[in-house]
Amino acid sequence: MYYISKRIEISSAHRLDLSYPSKCENLHGHNWIITVYCKSKTLNQDGMIVDFTRIKELIKDRLDHTILNDVLEGLNPTAENLAYWICQQIDTCYKVTVQESEGNTATYEED
């Protein structure tokens, strides 16, 4: 099995739709640190699982300096949902870790 990971930093805003009163219901931003993990039993014709540049295009180029509510259609843009959404964008991705601030990290991993 081959494994790669790519660390990405983005700045994005979001507002959460919560079942309880919270200041996070107001639009606010984070400097997110995202780590994307991919794996494959085989490599593509170029000797890669997936090109690191392709991960950047699919994730950073689509999320950096955006309002996540506008990008993650139908999902409340929590760190957990962001990790899930990112994992769904890359065929070989099996795990994503999203750090929204120091000490606050969410991970999504495929079973």
Note the pLDDT tens digit of each residue in 61-75: 999 999 999 999 899
The residues near 103 (Cβ < 8 Å, ≥ 6 apart) are none
pLDDT above 90 (res 111): no
pLDDT at 73: 87
Domain count, the chain: 1
Classify residue 79: in a domain, yes or no.
yes
pLDDT at 52: 98
Q: Which residue reads 């996070």 in tokens?
A: 24
Q: What is the CATH number of the domain that holds 101?
A: 3.30.479.10
Classify residue 22: in a domain, yes or no.
no
Per residue in 55-104, pLDDT tens? 999 999 999 999 999 999 899 999 999 999 999 999 999 999 999 999 99
Classify residue 52: in a domain, yes or no.
yes
Classify residue 23: in a domain, yes or no.
no
